[in-house]
Amino acid sequence: MIGKMEHVAIMVTDMDHSVNYYAEMFGFRVRLRGSNERREMAFLYLEAQPDMEIELIRDVKPGGKYNDDGKVNHLAFTVENIEEAIAHYRKKGIEFLSAEANPTLEGGRMILFHGPDKELLQLVERASL
């Protein structure tokens, strides 16, 4: 039986750049970073949710189709106030894919943007219940 979500893996081209991006932009911390002969990997977490991580993977020796085997459509981050979050991240250099937040199915709002390797990222303001 599944106990919890573990992590989401994202293929990157520059590990230092991606680690710094997620740390400086969103406050992620590195739990573990290392490499083997084929890949460099880093596991990042947020203090508020340490049991769900992002795994960044960089192929040291590209070979095979590991990074083409599965695609993650986007990674979403919850924010309390989407307008404040948009203004905050625009000041930090994020260019959003739309001029304003769009409604979600549950009545909240969301907006999309790209990370350093063109991974699709999303800010979500959940609907008030």
pLDDT, tens digit (0-9, with 9 covering 90-100), for 76-101: 999 999 999 999 999 999 999 999 99
| DSSP state string for 15-38 | HHHHHHHHHHHH--EEEEEEE-SS
pLDDT, tens digit (0-9, with 9 covering 90-100), for 35-70: 988 889 999 999 999 989 999 999 887 766 655 555
Average pLDDT over residues 93-121: 94
Tell me the backbone φ, ψ of residue 114, rounded to 5 degrees.
Answer: -105, 145
Domains of the chain: 1-70 (3.10.180.10), 73-129 (3.10.180.10)
